[in-house]
Chain A
Amino acid sequence: MKLTQLSVFLENKQGRLYEVCALLGKNKINIRALTVAESEEFGILRIVVDKPESAMRVLKKNGFTANLTDIVAVEVGDHPGGLAGILKILFAGNINVEYMYGFVEKFSDNALLVFRFEDINKAIKVLGKNKIRIVGKKEVDNL
C-alpha cells in the first residue's frame, strides 16, 4: 500500500529543476505527482514517478543526490471539507504529517493526495480502520 517517492537535492540555481525533469523525460520516466520544498539556499524536489528505482539510478549516474521514501497516496473527496475529513481522522489517531501534496491528475472523481507521515505503518492502520481508501502503485500507474 505504500508508494515510493523520489527526493532530489537541488541548489537554488537557475535551470536545476529543468535539468532533472529533462533527464527523467529523456529516460522515459513519467512524473505523476510533484512538489518542491525550498529553503533559502536549497530545495528538495519530491516526485512520484512510474519507475522510481530506475529514476534513482539515472539521477545518481548524473551526479544528483537522491533518495527513496515511503509515502501513502490517499483518495480525498473533491468537495469542501474533503481534506479536513481525512486530517481529522489523522489528528484523532495521533498521526503526524511531515508534508503532503496533490497529484496532477484526479483519481475517479476524487482528488489524490500524497502524505509523508512520521510513522507510516501507524498511519496506514488508522486510515484503514476509518475506511479511507489508500491507492496502490498499480492504480497510480494506470492513471
Chain B
Amino acid sequence: MIWNERMECMASGELKEYQSERLKRTVDYIYNNSPLYKKKLDACGVDLALIKGIDDIGKLPFTAKDDIRDAYPFGLFSQPLENITEIHVSSGTTGNPTVVGYTKEDVKLWSEVMARALCCAGAKPGDMVQNAYGYGLFTGGLGVHYGALEMRLTIIPSSSGQTKRQLKLMSDFKPRILTCTPSYCLYMAEEAREIGLDPRKSSWEIGVFGAEPWSESMRKEIESSWNLLATDIYGLSEIVGPGVAQECRHKKGLHIWWDVFYPEIINPKTGKHVKEGEPGELVITTLTKLGMPLLRYRTRDIVSINYDICKCGRTSPRISKITGRTDDMIIVRGINVFPSQIEHVLLGIEGTKPHYQLVVDREAGKLDELEILVEVEHKIFSDEIKQLRIFEERITREIESVLGVSAKVKLVEPKTIERSEGKAKRVVDKRVK
C-alpha cells in the first residue's frame, strides 16, 4: 500500500512544479519571518527574485548545524514561540544542544511522512505496531507514534528498554510491526533466547530500524534471528526526526519524500553537486515546514542518490544507506556523540587536554559499547591507584551526564593512541563492516 499515492508516484515533471512553487514560497516565508535568515540571505547577496524554481536552489546559501547551535535556543525559529507546539533536543558538538521547534502543521507533516514510511515498509491499516524507540526529547518515539496514529494503527508505545517486558508484550499482543534501533533489536533476540523464547517464532513480520548506522550484514543477522523483513528508516530532528526517507520491501535504497524534503548531494569540500550516483553529503531543503524551515541544510551524512523509478511504483529518488559522516560524530545506542563533548569534559576535570580516543564496538547480540581511552599525562598521574580510580570515575560520571550514554573509561600510557599526521585519531568505530 502507498499512503499518499498522488504525491509519492507523481511524474517528476509535474512534481517539479510543486517543488518549484514550494521552494519559492519557503524562501519568501523564511526571508520575511526569520530575522536571522534574512540577515544571512542579505549577507550572501542572493537576489531572491532569481529563485524562480527548484533548479535555482544552488544559488541559495547552505545552512549548517552551527547556524542552529549559534541561534540557541530558539533563534532560528520562523514562528513566534507560542505557535511552536513541540520542541526536540539532540546533542550538540559542545555546550549547547541542537534545538528544533515544530508547529502544529509541522507535526501534521511529520505524521504524514511517517505514515508514508510505515506504509512503505509494509504496514497496512489494522496492524499493531510495537514502538520501542525512546519517547522524549529524542524524536524517534514520538515520530513513529504520530505516523502510526495517522495510519490508525494500534500502537504499543513501549519506548526503549525493559526488554523482558517488550518480549512479553510481543508474545501476548502479537504486534506485526516493530520499530526500534537495529542494535536494540539484536539485543532483544539475545535476551529472548536467554529466557527460552524462539525469536524466529515472533509475531513481528516487519521491522523499521533506524537512528543509527547499520550494515547489510547486520540486516541479515536481524532478519535471520527474528524471521522478519528489516527495513531502514532515516531522519534527523532538524528536518522532522524519523520519516525523512524509508526503504520499501525491495530494500534498494531509502525513498526520500522529495515533494517536502528536497535532497541534493554535494561534495562536502567544494559545496558543488556531485554526479548522480556518486557519494557526497546529503543536503536537505524543507519545502513546506513552518516552525523552523531550513534552506539547504547540511546533514553531514554521506550518501549517494538514485533517481531511477523503483519497482514499488514510487517516483521519489532513493538515498543509499549512510556510508559515513563529514564530521566525527558517532551514534552510540541511538545517541549522537561528538568527540568534542568528551574533550570538554576532560578539560573541565583537570584543566588539561589529554589525548583521548573513542572506541565504539558492538559484540554480536549486544548493545553498543563506548570506551574512552585517556592518555595518562603527568598532570593526571598519581602514585596512588585510588586517585587514578577517582579520576576515571569522575570522567565516567560526567560523560554520562553530558552525553546521556554510559561509557567505560580506560587510562592508557602516553603516546599510545594512534596519531595520524601528528593529530590523534579521535574515533575508532569497530561496528562498521
Residues of A within 8 A of B (CB): 5, 7, 9-11, 16, 37-39, 41-42, 44, 46, 63-67, 69, 98-99, 116
Contacts and interface: CB of A to CB of B under 8 A. Distances in A.
B416 A67 contact: no
A52 to B, nearest CB: 12
B168 interface: no
Contact of A64 (B386, B412, B414): B414
A39 B415 CA distance: 21
A98 B388 CA distance: 14
A98 B384 contact: yes
Interface residues of B, number: 18
Nearest to A116: B383
10 contacts: A7-B383, A9-B411, A37-B385, A41-B410, A42-B376, A44-B384, A64-B413, A65-B376, A65-B377, A99-B384
B389 interface: yes
B91 to A, nearest CB: 27
For B382, B385, B414, which residue has the most chain A Cβ atoms within 10 angstroms?
B385
A116 B376 CA distance: 22
Given A11-B416, A67-B383, 7 more contacts: A5-B383, A7-B381, A11-B412, A16-B413, A41-B410, A42-B376, A65-B414
A99 B382 CA distance: 13
Interface in B386-428: 386, 388-389, 410-416
A65 B384 contact: no
B383 A10 contact: no
For B378, B383, B384, B416, which residue has the most chain A Cβ atoms within 10 angstroms?
B383
Contacts of A42: 376, 388, 411-412
Contacts of A5: 383
Contacts of B386: 98
B378 A65 contact: yes
Contacts of A37: 385
B414 A44 contact: no
Interface of B: 376-378, 381-386, 388-389, 410-416
A16 B412 CA distance: 12
Contacts of A66: 381
B284 to A, nearest CB: 43
A80 to B, nearest CB: 30
Contacts of B377: 65
Contacts of B385: 37-39, 44
A9 B410 CA distance: 13
Contact of A63 (B384, B410, B411, B413): B413
Contact of A69 (B383, B389, B414, B416): B383
A116 to B, nearest CB: 7
B413 A9 contact: yes
A46 B383 contact: yes
A64 B412 CA distance: 11
For A9, A42, A46, A98, which residue has the most chain B Cβ atoms within 10 angstroms?
A9
Nearest to A98: B384
A38 B386 CA distance: 11
Contacts of B389: 39
A116 B378 CA distance: 20
A5 B411 CA distance: 22
